[in-house]
Amino acid sequence: MTTISEPGTAPASPDEGRCCVPSGAAAMSATRAEELSRQFKAIADPNRLRLVSLISSSAENEACVCDLTEPLDLGQPTVSHHLKILVDAGILHREKRGVWAYYSIVPGSLDALAGVLTEPK
């Protein structure tokens, strides 16, 4: 049963004057929220999500741009654009070898995203 205080009197309990009782769990910082938002936005595109899947399932856990154009049925400039967004978001690592660029998953980047989705409430 909820008790209501009369106007001008002190609340019956310390939490009575509040809308909600805090959970005690620390909220995500604004910086962390921005970082995660950028990463989720990067993988929200179906082509970029497929790129992450193709790279993570490749034999060496890396792939060259030339290996990624055919499975996506996209041109090299378009694939490179999508890969740059994933690199900028911290999901992929880019390593230049001669004229080709090879991409790999940044260790822990996908685990961090999955962890946000599975955090206990």
Buried b (16+ CB within 10 A) or exposed e, 77-115: eebeebbebbbebebbbeeeeeeebbbbbeeebeeebee
The pLDDT value recorded for residue 32 is 80
In a domain, 66, yes or no: yes
In a domain, 24, yes or no: no
CA 89 to chain centre: 8
Domain count, the chain: 1
Rounded-to-integer distance, Cα 89 and Cα 36, Å? 9
The pLDDT value recorded for residue 5 is 55
The pLDDT value recorded for residue 3 is 57
Rounded-to-integer distance, Cα 84 and Cα 55, Å? 14
The pLDDT value recorded for residue 86 is 95
The pLDDT value recorded for residue 98 is 92
The torsion angles phi and psi of 43, rounded to 5 degrees, stand at: -90, 0
The pLDDT value recorded for residue 38 is 85
In a domain, 50, yes or no: yes
In a domain, 82, yes or no: yes
- Show the low-confidence residues of the chain (pLDDT under 50): none
The pLDDT value recorded for residue 49 is 92
CATH number for the domain that contains residue 85: 1.10.10.10
In a domain, 75, yes or no: yes
In a domain, 59, yes or no: yes
In a domain, 85, yes or no: yes
The DSSP element (H or E) to which 95 belongs, if any, is: strand 92-97
In a domain, 19, yes or no: no
Domain hosting 76: range is: 42-108
Query: Nearest-CA neighbor of 54 among 44, 45, 65?
Result: 65
pTM of the model: 0.70
